[in-house]
Structure 1
Amino acid sequence: MQYDVILPAAGSGKRMGAGKNKLFLQLKEKTILIHTLQVFEEDSWCRGIYLAVKDTEREVIEALLQTHGITKVKAMPTGGDERQHSVQSCMKEIGQGEIVLVHDAARPFITQSIIHELAEAALEKGAAVAGVRAKDTMKRVEAGVIQETVDRSTLWMIQTPQAFRFDWLKEAEDAAERDDFLGTDESMLVERQGQSVHIVESSYENVKITTKEDLVFGEAILNQRIGG
């Protein structure tokens, strides 16, 4: 089994308030980006990594790859204004393949076991995404007033990676471009084509580093994993 993985890495990270791309912030003396890349670099199933980047950050990222021995990055196309456009740029660089994963570059704690479950599910069923069950009571709210309590037993919080047969995602991306449709994630684009997307249960540790509080959580996860 082999897959290619797309990492959109051209975001602004405004919610972090760090004054720079949050992927360059450090956890345990390595950047968030390198932590994420190393998961795929060390996975024998990973055929290639495709990074969508800002042109102004290309040299910095190239230096990080060389310093940390990241060899599986096959291309670094310029990222678009939206995640969807960045993913499409990477799809064009891949050209053709069997299984493709899309993963948030700011989720450094994904494990190989979950990645492999997703790749196998995508091969068998066409599309699968990582997710965790909603833990909190969920309410539907309009204009600041609760309208109803939603049954959380059917609700999942969706993460990445999201895994697809290459042709399924390409068809969905092409259709979205043709229709000038902007989705919230790749799963939404594939669902829009009438395809079924399956869930692979992930871990609550697979957090996306978005705020300063997430950095604290990330440090705690690393400390637990390395016994620090």
Structure 2
Amino acid sequence: MANLGIVIPAAGQGKRMGAGYNKQFLSLLGQPILAHTVRIFEESDFVSEIVIVGAEGDIAVIEEIVTQQRFKKVVAICIGGASRQDSVRAGVRALSSAIQRIVVHDGARPLLTLEVFHRFIEETKEYPAAVMGIPVKDTIKEIDSIGNILATLPRDSLRAVQTPQIFDREKLEEAHNRAASSGYCGTDDASLLEWMGYPVQMAEGMQGNLKITTPEDLLLAEMILENRQRADSRDGSSV
């Protein structure tokens, strides 16, 4: 099996959620959102190390979640930086030198399945960098600063990007270090490699792999998980 390291940035406070604290500590079917996310990789034979990156004031809560859930693959819980980019960079540094292939996954994406994750790992094993993406359903228009429409973009060539994203460690570290020294801020980790001119492969994503950002997202996530549990129960009872 692959020797993957997972970096989970979990420092965002999620102001749009309106909870008044880190949204990843909110309960999703009785467990913190973050616990659902970490468990995906805890249960994967592809993964040997997990690093969680959080805000300084959240470290104790994250440690408590890891202890309560008995996650064995979490090798570090480290303090993030001023931006997500800084946090991922800190998480990469916390992985052992044995890890040469790194996956970055949002702490607020708890609905990824092991089946889809393993498919992604297999499909992208020959690529130095790859991301998940799904086709864009809505018509996308480019506008200027005052709202005038400049162009209607062709949907066939557009993808909404998700995590996980996977990278060769050497290239990811190079991109982060170069961006930090240059003051460049990318929209995600893949954009840093694109900025440096490295090719990034797009792999098929997962429609249900939503990022929980608003209260409506949390309700939808609960519905998705409940439907999965019912389906699993039916499958188990038919064996």
* Cα distance in 2, alignment partners of residues 181 and 121 from structure 1: 30
Q: What amino acid maps onto 2:48 in structure 1? A: R
Contact 2:59 2:78 in 1 (8 A): no
* Alpha-carbon distance, 1:53 to partner: 1.3
Q: What amino acid maps onto 1:146 in structure 2? A: I
Superposition map of 1:206-217 within 5 A: 206-217=209-220
TM-score by length of 2: 0.91
Superposition map of 1:85-124 within 5 A: 85-96=86-97, 97-124=99-126
Contact 2:124 2:203 in 1 (8 A): no
| 5+ residue gaps, structure 2 | 232-239
Identity of paired residues, percent? 39
| 5+ residue gaps, structure 1 | none
Farther-moved stretch of structure 1 (205-214 vs 58-67): 58-67
Aligned to 2:164: 161
Q: What amino acid maps onto 2:215 in structure 1? A: K
Farther-moved stretch of structure 1 (154-163 vs 175-184): 175-184
Q: Over the residues paired in the alignment, what is the CA RMSD in angstroms?
A: 1.4
Aligned to 2:235: none
Q: What amino acid maps onto 1:20 in structure 2? A: Y
* Alpha-carbon distance, 1:95 to partner: 4.4
Q: What amino acid maps onto 2:109 in structure 1? A: R
Aligned to 1:178: 181
SS of residue in 1 equivalent to 2:134:
strand
Farther-moved stretch of structure 1 (112-121 vs 172-181): 112-121
Aligned to 2:201: 198
Residue 117 of structure 2 corresponds to residue 145 of structure 1: no
* Cα distance in 2, alignment partners of residues 70 and 17 from structure 1: 29
Instruction: Number of aligned residue pairs: give it.
Output: 228
TM-score by length of 1: 0.96
Q: What amino acid maps onto 1:134 in structure 2? A: V
* Cα distance in 2, alignment partners of residues 115 and 226 from structure 1: 19
